[in-house]
Chain A
Amino acid sequence: MTVFRRMVLIFAMLASTAGFGWAQEYPARPITFVVPFAAGGGVDSIMRRMTDELQKALGQSIIVDPRPGANGAIGSAAAARATPDGYTLLATASSTFSLNPNLMKDPPYDQLKDLVPVATIGRSPWLLIVAADSPFKTVADVVAFGKANPGKLAFPFWQSSVLVTGETFGRVAGAQIRKVPYKGAVESMTDLLAGRLPIMFTDTIGARPQLAAGKIRVLASTVEKRPSYFQDIPTLKELGFDVVTDSMTAVFAPAATPKPILERLNKEFTRIVGTNEDIRERLREFGLDPTTMTLAEFDAFVRSEMARWADMIEKAGLQKS
Chain B
Amino acid sequence: MSSTPTSSGSVSPQKILVLALIVLGLIAPFGIYPIFLMKGLCFALFAAAFNLLLGYVGLLSFGHAMFFGFSAYVTAHGAKEWGLTPELAVLAGVATAVVLGAFTGWLAIRRSGIYFAMVTLAFSQMMYFVAVQAPFTHGEDGIQGVPRGHLFGLIDLNSTLNMYYFVFALFVGALLIIHRIIHSPFGQVLKAIRDNEPRAISLGYEVERYKLLAFTLSAGLAGLAGSVKALVFQLASLADVHWHASGEVVLMTLLGGVGTVFGPTVGAFLVVAIQNYFSEVGSWVTIIQGVIFVFCVLLFRSGMVGVLTPWLKRRGIRG
- Asked if A pairs with B, the answer is no
Q: Which chain A residues have a beta carbon within 8 Å of chain B's beta carbons?
A: none
